[in-house]
Amino acid sequence: MTALNIQAAQNDIIRQVLNTQDIHLLDRIRNLFVNKEVNEACMVQEEPCMTKEEILSGFDNALHELKSYREGKLELKPLEDVLNEL
């Protein structure tokens, strides 16, 4: 992922976090980061990294979903539902 893509994703998440008034959701987000740091400290990579083709395919799928959303053909999940799945 390029630096611009990472920065765009970070900005999007930051905007969503700043716009929420749900303290429980904010606590869950904070806990995700705390748990991530703990998990990364003892994580061993068992699976190989994604290939260039897999990355491009995923990016292509994401763009198609975005286009469908903008055309009103697809409804996206709220951030809270996505976090609940984690």
Render pLDDT for 13-62 as a digit per residue (tens, 0 to 9). Answer: 888 988 889 889 888 888 888 877 666 655 555 566 778 888 889 889 88
Give how far the C-alpha of residue 30 lies from the chain's centroid of Cα atoms, to the nearest Å. Answer: 15
- Kindly list the distances between the CA atom of residue 77 and the CA atoms of 4, 40, 44, 48, 80, in Å, as whole numbers in the listed order: 24, 27, 31, 29, 8
pLDDT reading at 82 higher than 70: yes
Of the listed ranges 24-28, 57-61, 70-74, 75-79, the least confidently predicted one is 75-79
pTM for the predicted model, two decimal places: 0.39
